[in-house]
Each structure stands twice: as C-alpha cells, then as structure tokens.
Structure 1
Amino acid sequence: MRPAFVLAIAVLLFSSFLGAQSGEIRGTVTDSEGKASAFVNIQLSETQQGVSSDVNGSFVFTEIKAGTYTLIASYIGYKTLTQKVEVEADKVLNLSLELFENAETLKEIVIKGYVTQNERIASIGKMAARQMDLPMSFQTLDRQTLESQQALTMQDVLMNTNGVYVMGATGGYQEEIAGRGFPFSSSNTFKNGTRFVNSMLPELSSLERVEILKGGAALLFGNVAPGGVLNLVTKKPKFGFGGEVGLRVGSFGLLKPSFDVYRGIGKGEKVAFRLNGTYQTANSFRQYVNSERVYINPSLLFKLSKKTELLLEGDYLDDRRTPDFGAGIINYEVIPDYPRDRFLGVKWGYVDSKQSAAAATLSHRFNDKWKLNLSSSYRDTEQEVFGTTRPNQGTLIKADGLWTRNIQRNASTDNYFIVQGDINGSFNTGQISHQLLLGFDTDHFVQQTQQYAQLNGYDTVNIFENLPSDSRNDIPTLKKGNFSDNPTSRYGVFIQDLITLSTKFKVLAGIRYSSQKLESNVTTAEGQVTTTPSPREGAFSPRLGIVFQPNSNQSAFVSYSNSFSFNTGVDIEGKALPPSIIDQYEVGIKNELFKGRASANITLYQIYNDKLAQNSLVNGNTYTYIKELAGAVRSQGVEVDFSARVTSNLIIIAGYSFNETKYVKSNTYVEGSLLRYNPNHTANASIQYEVSEGTLKGLNLGFVSAYIGTRFAGRSTRVQVANDAYRITEISDYFQFDATAGYNFSKFALRAKLANLFNVLSYNVHDDNSVNPIAPRNFSASLTWKF
C-alpha cells in the first residue's frame, strides 16, 4: 500500500471532522452501595446518542449542542433512571447517577434500546473501553443476530463479516478460519478468553455472542497469527428462573433438540446456575456421510461478597462423523466435474472428537477504580481419524478419474492448562486520565500423536462414477507407527495504558514479553526414543495507537503493533531459529451516524513479515529442517463495516474487504505469487425486520448474503524445481444468499431458514487440493418455548 495513498485517504477522512464547538456531559454511575457500575447504557433520547459506562462507571458525551435533553440510564436488573439535563455552550456538565435494583426485572428481563458496534465493549479486549476509543477494529455478533439468522455453523456466523472467512473445511469435520490473509490456528480461537482446539466444529447453541478482533492481538494473547482472534462467549448464570427448550429439524435428516435453564439458588441471591445443552444427528447431502454430537455447558456463579464473584464453567462436546475429503484437482489444473452428492471415501470411515474443559474465574473489585480478574482453565481434547487419505496425497488422481485409495489412521490428544490474570484500574496524572491494564498468563500444553502405518493401494475407484457395489469395504488393521509427545510451556507479561490527553486525543500504548519452550519426543514402533529440546525463546510485542475524536460521533486512529511466530528447525550452523517478527500498521475512522442509529467504519492496513522462515539453499542443502529467515510475506487491505438499526424494527449489517497476501521475497516460491485459500474480495449484507404492531405482530423476516471472491488452491510453484508440476489453481468466486422467517407468539418462537437460496455451486479447499462442494439449497425449521 503506497504511503502517499494512505496519507491522502487519512487527510480526506480527517478533514470531515471539523465541526462547531458545543457543550459536554461527563458523569459516573454507581449502584445503591456506591460501587461503580460498568456497561450501563446511557442515552440522550432527543438525539438517540448512546454510550456505555466504562469499568469505573464513567461516561462522556462530547460536542452536544446547547439545550435541554432527557438522559436515560438503564442496565439489566436495575430500575431505569430518567432525568432532564441542561447543556450550556463551551461548558462541562458533571453528573452523578445512582441506580437501584429492580426485583421484578431480575425475574424477567427484556432488553430495549440499541448499542451500535462502536459503543460496545468487547471482553476480548480485556478492558472496559468502548470500541470507539480504541485504535483497532472489532466486530461483535450478539445472540439476537445468531438466533434470528439461525446460525448453525461458523460458516453461517461469518456470513456477517468481511476480511474474516472460512478458508477450508478439512474432511468436513473442521472449519478452517482465516483473517487478513492468515489462518487462525487453535492459538487464535478462544472460548471465554481461553484457547480451544479448532480441529472440530464448535457448538453455537450455548453462545451469548461472537467477538472478532481484527489485526494484531499479540500484546494481549502472545503467540497468535497477525490476522486477528475469534472469541466465543457462552451464556452465563442468571438469578431468577427461566430458560427454553427447542427442536430444530431440517434437510438431510437434521434433528437437534436443545435446552437452556437458569435459576438462583437459595435466598439472598448469592448463588446462581445455568445449564444448557443439545443433541444433534444428521446425514449430509453427500452419500454415506453422517454425524452425531452431544454438547453440555454447565456454569455456577457465586457472589462471595459485595466485591467478589466466582464463576465456574464446564464445557463438553462429543462429535463423531464420517470424514469426507472430497476429490482432488487433477494435475493441479482441473476441478473434476462430478455430482455434488458423490462420496469417494470409505463408508466405514470415522473421525471421533471429544473436547472437555473446566474453568474458574475470580473477579474482585478493590474499589470504584481498580478490579482484579484471575482465571484458570483446563482443557482436554481427543481426536481419532480413520479412513481414506486426502486425494493426491501419495497417489495422484489420473485424468480419466482413476484414483487409488490409500488408508490412514492417527489418534491425537491435546492437554492444556492455563492460569491468567489482569488488573484494570484508572487514575489521573494532573489533567490526564489513564485506564491501565496489567496482566500475565502462563500455560502448558502437551500434544501427543499416535501414527499408524499407512495402507497404500487399498483399492481403485473412478471419481466420475458412483462407488461400485463390490468396492472394497472391509476395515483393515494398521500397525502402530511413531508416537510423538510434544510438551510446550509459555508465559507472558504485559502492560497497556489507554491515556486520555484531552477530550479529542487518546493514546493506547503497551508492550508484552512472551517466552516459549518446545520439546519433541518421538518413539518409534521399535521403541527407540529421540528427544529434541529447543532453547527457550522470547519476543517483545509492542503496540502504539493514537485516537483523534473531534466530536462524540467520529473517531480516527493510526496504530502500529507486531506479532511473532516461533520457528522450528535450525540454521546452517545448527542453532535454533529466532522468532519471526511480523509488523502491522493500521489507519482508520469510526463514525456514528443518524443520531447514534448506525456505525460506519473504514480501516486500511499492512502486515509485513520480512523474516519468514524457509528452507535454506546454502551449500546445496536438501534437509527441510535447516532453514533461514530470508523470505518475506506482505498482506495489504482495506475493510469497510456498516451496521444500523434504521428503525426500532429494522437492523442492517453490511461490509466489504479487499486483501492481497503474497510472497514478496522467497527462494522457494515465485515472488509475487499469492498465498493460497485467501479471497481478494469478501463482502456481506444482512437485513432483519420485525413487525411490532398490528395483526402480524411478532413476524420477523431476514435476508443474509455473502460474497467470497476468487481464491487459489493447489500448491505454489517452486522456483528451484525445473518444470515444477505444482501450481496454484483458481477457485471461482460466488455469492450465497439465505432467507429466514420467524414468528413469536406468547412464549413460543417458530423459525425457518432456506439456505443457499439460489443453489450456487462452489468449493471449500484444504490440504493443497482436496475439494469439497458447499452444501446445496437446504431447509431447516425450529420451534422454541421460553419459560
């Protein structure tokens, strides 16, 4: 991205911020005990502007024209406070608001009003700061959106995002997510702020919201890819009594009953619980493919004192399904044209996945300005895959469609334990205010993998024909091969300060130090053990951002951050490779439009890794573990996000992203070639409308669309291989449209969804060139009873 272009855009955007001087409203919100109340929704009814109080209960409205306004403060479980305020030109009105508990609303809570994306506070940011005040890009999808769109998979959720997308679907049992040109590994996916293994499909029925932080997040989380992080936030316990039961059915034999119940325990509202879960069974549009899963999510909340809470959470998912690796791209050139429902694996194949987790979070508020969070989590994941190998893994598919199937089997476990904590606090130095975040984390995980000897030449099939009735269907016995045991220990400490220099300027500055130690222990089938320790490696991750807010409705920012990637292998002298440092630059604006009814944001970014590890070619080296930090990858892009509640009944979410991620320096691949699986263009648009009056009251209609641009599969061409057979293969772009409808009556909700409305055909690609078609047009319906 040319600097002159970025500067021109920045000048154009900043020039739109000039406005008239007005008055200002500042205040704090406390409860009846004098404790600061965070996340309180505060609105000026005449202008429809809204803000949320921060962790200290503070809030501010700037650039308010002189006059009389109605200020409304509301929060779940408290009586709504309404009062008239008088704003004078060039003066600051200071308020102290006190909220009182409302016992009736604790029993049945109905949330009204609308908080825009820029006014929301994302827990993934680890501090109670509005997105408007931060030099980074967030997106939050709440429970209302997930329910109205009837999201079943992350593919459904990400139809509401741009720049973050599903890049592959390994074997049909995983949704590989990427952002800004970089894959989200298990290091980039979180549930309630703790990493989860994303090699299995997550369950969405338990979610309260989905949070996405685009761009660098290494300061907060350490070793994460630079494209961003994803956080799934589950439902929490509530006092009072309530819940729901539901049943969803749909095409391809989908059957999914679910339940959710919460209640306070005993008197005095000191303990509350929540329990939700689901069972799901389904076939597929693919022949012989089926799945079954069980999920349960219990939680307990203890109010240990007026200032201290303890939250205990459990999470268990058992998922078993038929692995389906699709077909390969013939000669890395042609996607074979065969029926969408054709299955080419073995009928007896399976992938069996289990993931269980337990977490404890202790929150303590020292006073109105300082708060401590401590959490500990343990996660255990087991997965076994037994079936055919990926197409073109070892045996290429011939032009006439003949494919010799090989059989693979492997079993893996991932045991993970983390302790993390942070302190949020605020203080002033003169006229300058600080919102400080101090934190640490230390984790240890052990990955163990049992390999089995691959069976080559199990049989031969033709991908252009259905599996013959006499095709081989016996389950072979495979001998155990190498067993690998890979323990990893990490720790990190960080500090971050959001500094308010004035009503118009804020600075976010921070730094993190991370340390990691890896070890590899390989035991052969004959019992020989090879241990390969690596030295402890460390890396610093700074962040610096400047925010300019000329008024309460506009914000502009520039920022720098970096992330890091630990490398395996050694250099030509046998020394361990240092981490690769990845630099990221962003510039953007955030706007509140139409009196707080809409948010419109634009972000430009560049991510650059000029120390990319690649195979060393020095002295004719042919060993892949001897490497050098001599390659470079660059990602550039722009993102536009828009969300609005046009009326009280109509919600719109839309966006567009352009990204180009390519090799700019390499001794292995052609310089200028694009990295695989990443679409240059993504876009999204959704509309949800609910009838609130008349005979059709309770009817809601929706439309969701997403565009995925041209991507590339195959393998990048190698410069050092003469007449290289590898090449990247173009996958055409496509639009997908979904339609939803629902009707709420009494305590019941009836919903229906028609996905892939126009039955478009496209593909998810994974593992070089294994190709799976996306699902054809399909239908689902659900009935829910709330109590």
Structure 2
Amino acid sequence: MSASAEEQKPAPAAEGPASADDIVVTGRAQRLYRVDVTTVGKAAEDPLDIPQALQVINADLFNDQGARDATDIYRNISGVSFFSYAGVTFRGFRQDQSFYDGQRGNPFIGFSVPQLFNVSRVEVLKGPAGLFFGPGSPGGIINYVSKVPGDLASLRTVATGGTYDRIGISSEATGPVDDAGVVTYRLGGFYEAMRPFRRNTKSTSLIGDAGVSIRTNAGGKLTVQATIYDNDLPGNRLRGILTDDAGDFLSDIRWNANEPTDFLHLTSNAYQARYATEVGSAVTFDAGVRYFESIETQQYHEPRGRVATNPDLVAREFRDQIRDVDGLSFMVNATATIALRGMEHKFQAGGDWYEENSLLASRILRAGVTPLSLSAPAYTTSSRDVARAAALPFTNTDTRTKRRGAYLQDQISLTDALLLVGGVRYDRFEDGVTTTTDGRTTAQSAYRDDAMTFRGGAIYKPRRDASLYVSWSGSFEPQAAASQNTDAGGPFAPVTGGQVEAGLKTDLLGGRLQANLAAYRIVRRNILQVDPSLAPINGQDQLRPIGEVTSKGFEIDLATDLTPDWVLLANYGYNDARITRTVAGQAVTNAVGDRFANAPRHKLGFWTRYQVAPIAAAFAFGGEHVSRRISLSGQQVKPYTIFDASITKRVGIAGVLLRVDNLFDARYAASGFTAQSGHFPGEPRTALAELRLRF
C-alpha cells in the first residue's frame, strides 16, 4: 500500500528478479514484505482504492521464510488454512482454484502443489471475485504472478541442503540482450530432491523457465514465457494417518499406506504471452494468452479404514490412474481515466475465454489387496496388485469445460476523499461429461447457461493514507456437469453467492504502519442436495437446490516497523461458516451437521524479523495457531500451535539462510480428511540451509 496515489510505482509485473538477498541494510528495512501496487484486479491499483480485502506475499517474504511451494505461505494469509494438497479453506469454504498472471491455467493438476521458484509474488483477493475472474468459489482467489525478464543484468544461484536428505540447486539469470535494452531475457532452472518424513516417500522436483521481453514502443512491452515442470513422487501419493474420534493418531505419523513402488508423477508445460502498453497518460491496455498441458500418472494404495476383525489392520485398495489435462485461455483488459462533469472516472473493461479438456482414466482393484498393520507395517513390492489391476478395464471420464466472460467497471472520484465503484460481468459457460468403461458409454451429461455478476462499493478517505470502505460482490459456480443428468432432476442453475464486506485500510507513518481490518458476511444458495422424499429414477438419486450456507467473520492484518531494524507481520482471522438451510437429515458437501470440515474458528499467524546491520545479519521468528476443527467424517481435528525461526547472513556476494520449521517438534494434524484415510500429519521439526550467490 502507498501513502498516496502519486507515489505509485509501475505495475509489479514489470519487476525483475527479487533483490531479497540484499535485505540487510542500514536504516529502515526497505518496507520489507509490503507493496505499493497490486494487479489482483486485472490492472495496477493502489490497494487503498480497492473496496475488498486483499493481501500480497512478495519475494522478500519467500526468501526470509525459505518458501518452496504454496503450502509454505498459507500461514501468512488471514482467513486461509490448509485443507489438502493444493486445496485450502478460504473464509470457511473449501476451494482448489488458482490463477496465473490473472488467467486460468494451473499446470499443477490433481494432487500436485504449486511451486514458487518462478513466482515473484502471490496476490490474494478475498471474497467473491466474479467480476474479474468469472465462475469461482466465494472465499476468494489466489493469483500467482510470474517472474519476468529484468532490465539489469544479474545472476543468482542457490544451493540447498537440509534434513530428510534434502539437497538442491537453482539458478536464474536475467538482463538485456542488446545494448539499448530493447530485448531482455530470463533463464532459470530448479532442482531439489528429498526423502520426506513419511515412510517410503521420495520427492524430486525439476523446473525449467525461460522468458523474453521486447519493448515494442514507448510504454509497451511484449513478454513471452515457457515453463516446464517435472515432479516425481515415489511412494508419495499420500493420504493421512488414521485417528480416533478425539483426533489422536493411531500410529506413528511416519505411517504410509503406500508401498515403496507406488508413485505419483506429474509433467507439465506452460506457455504464455502478455502484451501491455500505455496509450498516452490516461489509457492502459494489456492482453494475454496462456496454454498448458499436464499429465499426472499415479499408482497407489488407498486406505479404506480399519478391518473390523482386527483394528490394527487397515484395509486398502489399489488405484491406477492417469489424468491428462490441457487448457487454453485468452484475456484482454483496458483502463481509461476520463473527466466527466467535473468528476474523474476510471473505466475498466475486458474479457476472457477459457477452454479445458480433462480426461481421467481410472481402474481400481478393491478385492484381494493385503491390509497393512498400523503398529508394525510390513511393506512389499506391489507387483501383484499392479498385474491384477492391469486386467481390469479403465473407466474414462472425459470432461469438457468452456468459459467466456466480459466485464465493465467504473470507479468514480466524487471528491478527493470519496470514491464509488460499480461493475457488471456477463458469463457464458458450457460443461459436458462423458463416462465410458471398456468402450461402452455409461453416463453422459451436458449443460450450458449464462449468468450476470455485479459488484459495488464506496471508499472514503479521511486522509490520504487511510481508507474506509463498504462493498457488495457476487459470484456463481456452475453445478458439477455430472449433476446435470436429467435422471437426477437436472439441469440446475448455478450456485450463487454474495458478500457484504466493510473494512479499514491504512498506510500510516510513511508506510511504516500498514493495518487492515475487514468484516464480511457471505451467503451461498442453490446448493444441490439429495432429496430423500423423492424416489430414485433409473437408479439416480434425485437432486434439488435446497442448500444454503452463511459464512461470517472478520480479519486483521498488520505490517509495521517496530523500530528502524525490527519488522512485524501479524494476521488473525475469525470465521463462523454454518448451514442455514437444507433438508432435515441432510448436510451440505464438505460439512457435517451444520459445521464445515477443516474450517477453524480462529487462525493466527505472525512473523517478526530483527536485523543487525553492523554484522549484516537478520534474525526472524514466526508462528501459527489454528483452532479446533472437524474432519469430513466429523472426527475432531485438534488445535495446534507451531513456531519457526531463521537467520540470514550476508558476506560480499554470498548470503546464507538457516531456517528451522516446527521449532519445538510439535506433533499435530495439519487438517482432517475422512475416518477411512485419516488426518494429514504436520511436518516434524525440519532444518533448511541455503547458500545464495548473487552477481
């Protein structure tokens, strides 16, 4: 956030690689962890002028915390907690959606987690974001902003080592290609391997990233990028550890239902081009295209709960699955600042188009799979299960998705202190699912519809470094294509949602104190449920839109310099998400009774850093508390509190990071899942060391 609009910097998308290695400075610590501009609304904007809560996690925080993937940053975001894999609980609701540079096209499909090596920052817009991003969950969106070529020549190399046999190396170079700097480039490579704490598991991650930027005209730039990912996870298609109803683990947290020969392997390629330009001083324009293709193969043993005759044994089934997904998206956005009738209008208009094809081939061996002991697991190769599963036919689920949308927003400056925001979006969507087994079509459904989304808000600035706001924003989510089957009562209109939010944002003391407060109420309607009063048709349970959920809460975010050398980040979120309308005896998906799974009432996080400039070192300490939750099966998920610490030291061109996570080796569940597959255990105490060289 900035102290005034005049102090805004160019859009962060034009930044080069992070300079976070140079974070030990004399004087105040470079506004660490704070931002002046965000592009989460599809255009560069002062956060004080956005009537909705947001957070930006930048490269400084990535580097100080040694963040590797998306799960490493959730503790820094109020209202967000871990659910499973890349999924989060966001203001009470489960969601798995994420965007890249404002576009759909997440290459980490299925059960893989987004990596941060080629990400410059993560932008989080809280609450419904339908105006700019179309169909989606009402909790908010997470947007990963890519690193792009920089104007200054630099080379950064990082060597990594740590517990669980962690070893890795990465390098990234950027700079001008020609003397005039018309063409710039970026090349990056990342490798890291380790043996995580769960038995039989390994992890190897490879990322290759390249980009070229061309200055096409004054204020205009075209950037083309390509990224490849290879994530090999032997024995690492993980479920949880079984617990009792009180939430106590029934075995050592290293227990794993997977055999040593089980695996998950993801390969992805992502390509994108983005053009942005200024037209005079009042108009900006940008357009982008993004394509990705991903294949995830996995063979693994799925736990199915304890054997009734011997509670020490866990029943299992063997799954052989292939996910093949590709997606293509286009977007265009323009802003124009115009004076009309003595008032300044900032018009923003744009559109987007997305098409995704997803094919899941799955065969499941349910009979004759050897159970596994909780107390003394004896692992063997799974060749017998692989061979038996190979005799089964694949069930192929082919899902086709199309999204098209256009939006218009006007931000009116009635006075220097009072702004009004209003916008509308139109979406057209098409979904279709075809299921075949052994060449025979067993199910087929398709649906198309359109929807309008609205957003309105008011911002009052009693001073230039503080804003009070109130807003209403809408969202919608098309029903699952499989639910549109006429035998089940379909087709059905989308799930709709709306949020009322009010808050305060500040950027006081020249940016040394950024404090945000937001209170919200979200209502989701038209949620499909099985209606037990209706008889099945052709074996299909009858669905009806009879569900409603209300989520209420508030969030506090603080970033401040306690002294010129001492920085504090803190966040707190309170949430109460409950079912407010449904059929007696029924429950909304991801909820038990009237409570939502993995939705904590309280979540607290902090990170504080003190630098000692004379010795070019900084010391940091952080923590996270998540209150009691329930699993999808209604089992207790105990509250937990964990702490982390790091030291950074710089000597010439070299920097060193030493970091310890879960400092006191707490044993805890990061989230709950089902009684059959257990709770996801949190990582024990781990240590990470990095040697950073920058030229």
Q: TM-score, normalised by structure 1?
A: 0.80
Task: Give the equivalent residue in structure 2 for 1:730.
Answer: 636
1:577 matched residue in structure 2: 492
Query: Taking structure 1 as reference, are residues 560 and 397 closer, same or farther at Cα in structure 2, changes over 3 Å only?
Result: farther
Q: Quick one: structure 1 residues 257 and 333, their matched pair in 2 at CA, closer, same or farther if it must change by over 3 Å?
A: same
Inter-partner Cα distance in structure 1 for 2:488 and 2:578 = 29
Tell me whether 1:690 sits opposite 2:607 in the alignment.
no
1:503 aligns with 2:416: yes
For residue 185 of structure 1, report the CA deviation from its aligned partner: 1.8
| Deviation readout 1:586-608 (Å, 9 max, x if unpaired) | 01111233443111111111111
CA separation in 1, counterparts of 2:202 and 2:572? 35
Residues 189 and 197 in structure 1, CA contact (< 8 A), matched pair in contact too: no
Q: Tell me, what secondary structure is at the counterpart of 2:43?
A: coil
Residues 1:131 and 2:47 are matched in the alignment: yes
Judge conservation of contact 1:407–1:455 (CA < 8 Å) in 2. yes
Task: Return the alpha-carbon distance in structure 2 between the equivalents of residues 260 and 573 of structure 1.
Answer: 53
Greater shift after overlay, 502-511 or 113-122? 113-122
What RMSD in Å do the two structures reach over aligned CA positions? 2.7
Distance 1:110 1:417 in 2: 42
Offset of 1:367 from its aligned partner? 1.4
1:586 aligns with 2:504: no
CA shift digits 1:56-75 (9 cap, x unpaired): 99xxxxxxxxxxxxxxxxx9
1:295 pairs with one of 186, 207, 213: 207
Supply the distance in 2 between the matched residues of 1:576 and 1:476 (Cα, whole angstroms): 39
Q: Which residue pairs with 1:271 in the alignment?
A: 183
Conserved in 2, the CA contact under 8 Å of 1:119 and 1:132? no
Distance 1:281 1:494, change over 3 A: same
Q: Distance in 1 between matches of 2:314 and 2:277?
A: 61
Q: Deviations over 1:722-778 (max 9, x none)?
A: xxxxxx111111111000001011010011001100111111345534323111111
Structure 2 counterparts to residues 518-557 of structure 1, below 5 A: 518-525=431-438, 527-529=439-441, 532-557=444-469
**1:183–1:754 CA distance, 2 compared to 1 (3 A):** same
Residue type of the alignment partner of 1:639: E
TM-score normalised over the length of structure 2: 0.91
Other structure's SS at 2:655 match: strand
Q: Residue 633 of structure 1 corresponds to which residue in structure 2?
A: 549
Equivalences for residues 628-707 of structure 1 within 5 A:
628-667=544-583, 668-669=585-586, 673-693=594-614, 696=615, 698-707=616-625
- Please give the residue correspondences for 1:86-235 in structure 2 after superposition, counting only pairs within 5 Å: 114=30, 120-168=36-84, 174-186=85-97, 188-191=98-101, 193-198=103-108, 199-235=111-147
Change (3 A) 1:76 1:216: closer
Which residue number corresponds to residue 311 of structure 2?
A: 400
Aligned-pair CA distance for 1:364: 2.5
Q: Read off the aligned partner of 1:418 and give its amino acid letter.
A: S
Give the aligned partner of residue 744 of structure 1: 650
Distance apart, 1:335 and its partner CA:
3.9
2: distance between equivalents of 1:110 and 1:52?
28
Q: Report Cα offsets for 1:634-665 as digits up to 9, x if no partner.
A: 11111011111233322210011111112122
1:764 matched to 2:680? The reply is no
Kept after mapping to 2: 8 A contact 1:218/1:563: yes
SS of 1:147's partner is helix
Give per-residue Cα distances to partners, 1:239-298, cap 9 Å, x unaligned: 232121110100000011000101211232110000112111100112221111110111
Following the alignment from structure 2 to structure 1, what is the Cα–Cα distance between the partners of residues 124 and 215?
30
Where relative contact order (Cα < 8 A, 6+ residues apart) is larger, the structure is: 2
Amino acid at match of 1:490: R
Q: CA deviation at 1:475?
A: 5.0
Gap change, CA 1:502 and 1:110, over 3 Å in 2: farther
Q: Name 1:719's counterpart in structure 2.
A: none
> What is the SS of the residue equivalent to 2:622?
strand
Q: Which position in structure 2 is the counterpart of 1:252?
A: 164
Q: Which has the larger radius of gyration?
A: 1
Give 1:446 deviation, angstroms. 0.3
Contact 1:260/1:276 (<8 A) preserved: yes
Q: Deviations over 1:468-512 (max 9, x none)?
A: 366866452222321121111110000111111112211111011
Aligned partner letter, 2:605: N
Are residues 555 and 489 of structure 1, via their aligned partners in 2, closer, same or farther at CA, if it must alter by over 3 Å?
same
Query: CA 1:409/1:528 → structure 2, altered by over 3 Å: closer, same or farther?
Result: same
Residue aligned with 1:577, SS: coil
Matching residue's letter, 1:128: A
Alpha-carbon separation, structure 2, partners of 1:397 and 1:420: 55
Deviations 1:657-689 (A, max 9, x none): 111112122225369620111111100111112
Q: For 1:144, what is the secondary structure of its paired residue?
A: helix
1:420 aligns with 2:328: no
Opposite residue 68 of structure 2, the aligned amino acid is L
1:398–1:361 Cα change, 3 Å:
farther
Query: 1:177, CA displacement in angstroms?
Result: 1.8
Alignment match, 1:352: 265
Q: Which runs of 5+ in 1 are unaligned?
A: 1-38, 42-48, 58-74, 78-104, 169-173, 716-727
Structure 1 Cα separation of the partners of residues 147 and 326 of structure 2: 24
**Given that residues 202 and 236 in structure 2 are in contact (C-alpha distance below 8 angstroms), is that contact kept between their aligned partners in structure 1?**
no
Distance 2:241 2:35 in 1: 46
How far off is 1:616 after superposition?
2.4
Aligned partner of 2:115: which letter? E
Distance 2:33 2:540 in 1: 46
The answer on whether the counterparts of 1:300 and 1:311 sit within 8 Å (CA) in structure 2 is yes
> What secondary structure is seen at the aligned counterpart in 1 of 2:320?
strand
Rounded to whole Å, the distance in 2 between the matches of 1:469 and 1:523 is 34
Alpha-carbon distance in structure 1 between the residues aligned to 2:310 and 2:682: 23
Q: Which residue of 2 aligns with 1:95?
A: none
Match for residue 365 of structure 2 among 446, 449, 454: 454
| Match status 1:784 vs 2:692 | yes
Helix, strand or coil: the match of 2:112? Answer: coil
Q: Which runs of 5+ in 2 are unaligned?
A: none
Give the drift of 1:312. Answer: 0.3
Bigger drift between 353-362 and 110-119 goes to: 110-119
Quote the sequence identity (%): 19
> How big is each residue's C-alpha offset from its partner over 1:30-54, in whole Å with a ceiling of 9 and x where there is no partner?
xxxxxxxxx9x8xxxxxxx565555
Partner of 1:755: 661
Q: Give the drift of 1:363.
A: 1.4
Match of 2:524 among 590, 609, 612: 609
Question: Relative to 1, partners in 2 of residues 1:76 and 1:403: Cα closer, same or farther, differing over 3 Å?
Answer: closer
Counterpart of 2:325, as a letter, is D
* Aligned AA (1:353): L
Counterpart of 1:363?
276
Q: Which amino acid aligns with 1:586?
A: E
Q: CA deviation at 1:324?
A: 4.7
1:774 aligns with 2:682: yes
Letter in 1 for 2:689: A
